[in-house]
Amino acid sequence: MKEVSSRYTVSIHYDRRLYKQDIAGSTAHARMLAKQGVISNDDADKITSGLEEIRSEIKSNKFPWREELEDIHMNVERRLFDKIGDVAGKLHTARSRNDQVALDVRMFTKDAIREILEGILGLRKALVGLAEANPKTVMPGYTHLQRAQPLLFAHHMLAYFEMFGRDAQRFQQAFERADVLPLGSGALAGVPYPLDREYVAKELGFSAVSRNSMDAVADRDFLLDFQMASATCMMHLSRMSEELILWSSDEFAFIRLSNDYTTGSSIMPQKRNPDFAELARGKTGRVYGHLMGMLTLLKGLPMTYNRDMQEDKEGFFDTFDTLSDTLTIFADMLPQMTVNDVRMRSAAQDSYLLATDVADYLVAKGMPFREAHGVVNRMSEYAFEQEKFLHQLTLAEYKNFSGIFDQDVLDISVESSVETRNVQGGTSFEQVAKAVKEARANLESSDA
């Protein structure tokens, strides 16, 4: 029982990841205290030099972690005492662990978002690259997982480009809400010292200072923002994973994934399993779980800080690691993917995807759309019974369903179908080429 109780409150095994942020925050705090005359410049120099030594020790794996000190803050503080003596005690002037940990987590969140945005950018580059490399590839578009209408593979890739663009926006918004300095709020009510919080904010790269000390130490909404943005991004990755898994099957054979991102079977030597895509699809669930965990953690907490909030970090760290790794993998996996354009076009042509185009043909000849819909519906049933596709029907067979049909109906093809969708946001060759160009320009501006 004693062993369990002694480790129950310990967080150092995971919150040690905050060491860079903790030391940076402490360094800025010490400099500010000296600037404001709360401690001497000499004491501040000793403190900052000691903190830099500690940072080097941690980075080189030479730091003597002590579990009985529970968290990153106390481990760093105790080590600072070892190095510079009682002067270390002055560092915690005008500061509480409540606003200290809030600072550390906000700084880590901002760093994490920067990395995630780089990962999203890399993935969007990969998607545009695929679109550029396959400008004329026609494939079936689906609704209800049934073949619906022809479209361009590049158009399909740009759909994901748009999805991940919205994810980037969500993370940018999350960054803005994390970009508020809480340090200087103390435990909950502020501190009785002449602090220069704006100075600390500038030193640590924050664009704003918190306006309410209670909210500053109690707020974890910025972590919810991160978790929600991550869950949505993983959902998009999972949707893409599902399609990659389907498309790489023999039944579809639209793509072939690189050997680097497939694995074999322990018993079936022919297998090339899309394990990376499957794992991404599966890991989406754990990210969802961390979001629900955070929501549940916060839903009943009274103001202000409560020890429950120690539980905000493990799920957050795991979400960050999972999403960051998945984005990196997909950004590398997609460019190595082989697109089977012949198979894609065949799947689009050898089906009933042109039915809407035939109905539109009748409409162009003056038939009301609902009537045309019925005609082509009956025609599709007939073709199915004859074991033919629409492009295999003769003009005489067309005329059996309507005298409006003429020789030009035989010119309808998957390419003509694509080309007629020449509206803004459509799948025509012209519109998609324009969209690819705009997407590339968007990426170049993001790199600037």
Please name each of the domains of the chain with its CATH number.
9-93 (1.10.275.10), 98-137+151-193+212-335 (1.20.200.10), 347-447 (1.10.40.30)
C-alpha 348/C-alpha 360 separation (Å) is 18
Residue 448's pLDDT band, with cuts at 50, 70 and 90, is: low
Q: What percentage of the chain carries pLDDT values higher than 70?
A: 99
**Confidence label for 148 from pLDDT (cuts 50, 70 and 90):** very high
pLDDT digits (tens, 9 = 90+) for 368-399: 999 999 999 999 999 999 999 999 999 999 99
Question: 328: cis peptide before it, omega within 30°?
Answer: no
Q: How confident is the model at residue 446 (pLDDT cuts 50, 70, 90)?
A: confident
The answer to whether the CB of 383 falls within 8 A of the CB of 355 is: no
- Which is catalytic among the residues 144, 238, 290, 373? 144
pLDDT at 2: 64
pLDDT band of residue 145 (cuts 50, 70, 90) is very high
The yes-or-no answer on residue 391 being catalytic is: no
Residue 264 has a pLDDT of: 85
Does the annotation count 185 as an active-site position? no
Given 6, 40, 207, 265, the catalytic residue: 265
Q: Does residue 5 register a pLDDT over 90?
A: no
How large a percentage of the chain has pLDDT more than 90?
95
pLDDT in tens, 192-209: 999 999 999 999 999 999
d(CA 243, CA 19): 40
Identify whether the C-beta of residue 31 lies closer than 8 Å to the C-beta of residue 48: yes
pLDDT tens digits for range 396-445: 999 999 999 999 999 999 999 999 999 999 999 999 999 999 999 999 98
Model confidence at 1, in pLDDT bands (50, 70, 90)? low
Task: Write out pLDDT tens, residues 288-323.
Answer: 999 999 999 999 999 999 999 999 999 999 999 999
Looking at residue 447, what is its pLDDT?
A: 78
The whole-chain average pLDDT of the chain stands at 96
For the segment 4-24, the average pLDDT, to the nearest whole number, is 92
